[in-house]
Structure 1
Amino acid sequence: MKKDYSIGPLGDRSIIIEWEQQIDPAVHRRVMRAYNSLQRLQLPYILDLIPAYASLTVVYDAGSMRRQHPLPAGQQIRTIVTKVLEQEAEEVNAASRLLEIPVCYHPSLGPDIEALAAQKNLTGSQLIDLHTSQTYTVYMLGFLPGFPYMGKVPDKLAAPRLKQPRLKVPVGSVGIAGAQTGIYPMESPGGWNIIGRTPLRLFDPAKEEPCYCRPGDQVRFVEIGLEEFNGR
């Protein structure tokens, strides 16, 4: 099988596996297969696995590896990862969840929705219909704890970040930046185009699984009214 990835060092205790750098569901499936396969091994010296759009970072305990293997830790972890990547015939896939996330698109909660709709020659209703018309893949979590980067939005909705970021974006704000859509899990500065807000709490450190979304999840946005939003 043709090798379509590269493995390189990322600091002295991690490596990064990189596939073709693009937002593509097929590429991300490769990322998640490697992630799930390595997670399934439950190797004590692998400390963390961090999936992204087209890469997977593997953080390892070099000291622990040196005690268990004669090879240098970096060489040994590459050997393990390469073996996993070559086992394409034994793909390991975790069942992706389908999440429905309620969003209120009222202008009082989506301060950029009217300007973005006008920029795209759409009505507000047409913009909402487009945003809720498809299922999005959660490609990665980042920027803030539990912030899901999802894509791709319909081409008609793709928009650059704001020229002047806001100092405060409220928790639960749903935004668009480039071809991505995402949700702010806490109040934060930010430059995404805010088109609505969800009442769901996307990050709760008190829970066993603090992040509401996981990489690989499928998400559909469901429109709710302002009264329902305020009642949750």
Structure 2
Amino acid sequence: MENKSGYKIMIINQDTFLLEWNEKPSEILLSKLLFLRKTLERKPEVLVCRTGYRSLLIQLNKKIKNLEYWNQYFNKILSKIEKHKKLQGKKWIIPVCYENNFAPDIIKLSKALKLDVNELIHLHSKNTYKVYFIGFLPGFPYLSGLDPRLHYQRKAKPKLNVPKGSVAIGGKQTGIYTTDSPGGWHIIGFTPISLFNPKTSPPCFIKPGDTICFQKIDSNSLKDIEIGLQRGDYNFFK
């Protein structure tokens, strides 16, 4: 079912539906998705809302009986979004050590991209990245904003174990591995910041709509930050 607000609504199962927009991912669309999600999460019958690049998955605590009611409700919410200020997320400064010991793929990737290693690091750390959604691994942020000069295809043969904290590039994206995991992205650095901790509430502090900046550090600073994190006095929120 398509409608005037530009999305298509699809029933996934008896209590879940998906809203999908036929447009390219953008910060304007992200603001719509986050505004809609924030509003829906206040409704007692909504169990789960999950954003994608251009979609919103909604699960209810009951069966979907009247799809037209929900369609009209979504349109009503979206008609109000222009009256609200753009949603502002938090800005996180993520320290990254790009030294070879922590970046096993950086030399090979720089050669493939025909860039000096220092230029690769500069291009990666100079931009501000927008968090669109969390997925793939618990707490793994999908980011926009990677410089096109760093776009490169994923590995033909993924590694069986990429260490937690690895900062990597794959395709048109960069990301941070939040747990030890198989992976096919090119590892160019390491951060001591843990983006996911199942023992905390919430387990993931970064949210869609937030921004991330990568800050280049050396191995000595890495050790100091790890000590600060253990003491609980290192601040990476700007």
Matches within 5 A, 1:6-17: 6-17=8-19
- Residue 169 of structure 1 pairs with residue 162 of structure 2: yes
After the TM superposition, which of the residue ranges 99-108 and 12-21 deviates more from structure 2? 12-21
Contact 2:33-2:51 at 8 Å conserved across structures: yes
Contact 1:45-1:62 at 8 Å conserved across structures: yes
SS in 2 for 1:145: coil
- Residue 22 of structure 1 pairs with residue 18 of structure 2: no
Return closer, same or farther for 1:207/1:92 CA change in 2, 3 Å cut-off. farther
- Residue 128 of structure 1 pairs with residue 130 of structure 2: no
- Residue 86 of structure 1 pairs with residue 79 of structure 2: yes
In the alignment, the residues of structure 1 paired with residue 69 and residue 174 of structure 2 have an alpha-carbon distance, to the nearest angstrom, of 38
Deviations 1:141-197 (A, max 9, x none): 001110001013100001111100000000011111111111111100011111111
The Cα shift of 1:80 comes to: 2.4
Paired AA for residue 20 in structure 2: E
SS in 2 for 1:227: helix
Paired AA for residue 57 in structure 1: L
The Cα shift of 1:74 comes to: 3.8
Contact 1:140-1:149 at 8 Å conserved across structures: yes
Aligned to 2:52: 52
The Cα shift of 1:3 comes to: 2.9
Matches within 5 A, 1:180-219: 180-219=173-212
Deviations 1:94-129 (A, max 9, x none): 431111101111121111111111111111110010
Return closer, same or farther for 1:206/1:73 CA change in 2, 3 Å cut-off. farther
- Residue 32 of structure 1 pairs with residue 34 of structure 2: yes
In the alignment, the residues of structure 2 paired with residue 184 and residue 230 of structure 1 have an alpha-carbon distance, to the nearest angstrom, of 19
TM-score by length of 1: 0.89
Aligned to 2:100: 107
| Amino-acid identity (%) | 34
Paired AA for residue 39 in structure 2: S
In the alignment, the residues of structure 1 paired with residue 157 and residue 56 of structure 2 have an alpha-carbon distance, to the nearest angstrom, of 32
Paired AA for residue 48 in structure 1: V
TM-score by length of 2: 0.87
Give unmatched runs, 5+ long, in structure 1: 66-71
Aligned to 1:98: 91
SS in 2 for 1:62: coil
Paired AA for residue 60 in structure 1: L
The Cα shift of 1:22 comes to: 2.9
Aligned-residue CA RMSD in angstroms? 1.9
Paired AA for residue 100 in structure 1: I
Paired AA for residue 95 in structure 1: Q
Give unmatched runs, 5+ long, in structure 2: 227-238
The Cα shift of 1:92 comes to: 6.4
Contact 1:23-1:151 at 8 Å conserved across structures: no
Contact 2:139-2:196 at 8 Å conserved across structures: yes
Return closer, same or farther for 1:91/1:19 CA change in 2, 3 Å cut-off. farther
